[in-house]
A = this chain, B = another copy of it.
Amino acid sequence: MAGFVSHFTNRLDAKGRVSIPAPFRAVLARDGFDGLYCIASAHCAAVDAGGNDLLAEINKRSEAFAKLSPDHDALAVALFGASENPRIDGDGRMTISDMIRDHTGLADQVTFVGMNYKFQIWEPEKFREYRAEAQRRALAMLSGQVPAPSQGEPA
């Protein structure tokens, strides 16, 4: 079954709310996660969002280390300390927290980008730039110029 696909740009209202695109809501409803799981991306000005599938990916990363160890603690702070669990109201909207606003730099519009098992939250202009760069990289990779990165690339 298809996951999060396509991208949408919606307006942020005076209360800091934004409608989650209806197709994404449908995917979340199938997933069954309560609300939305969000985590700041470690390598770009976007926030990853999704449900159980995304949470499972995050959990997988920290399971490599023994709990209560310094390594596990550091990883847990970096991952879960940078995560949030916003609710979705009856009209399909979420509230943009300070964390999301600071990390993405978004102001009055929000771009939602489907990435199959998760989607990303972007400031629209920053997403345009990132997308252009991503397409250049994809083109280079597909033409065999650049070796595909080994698996386990941070999302």
Residues in chain A within 8 A of chain B (CB atoms): 1-7, 23, 34, 37, 41-44, 48, 55, 57-59, 61-62, 64-65, 67-68, 70-71, 73-81, 83-85, 99, 113-117, 120, 130-131, 133-135, 137-139, 141-144, 147, 150, 152-154
CB-CB nearest in chain B for A51: B2
Known: A57-B67, A74-B137, A78-B137. A62 touches B116 (CB 8 A): yes
Nearest chain B CB to A29 CB, angstrom units? 14
Looking at the complex, which one of B5, B42, B59, B62 makes contact with A135 (CB distance below 8 Å)?
Answer: B42
Determine the chain B residues whose CB is within 8 A of the CB of A1 once the complex forms: 34
A83 near B42: Cβ-Cβ < 8 Å: no
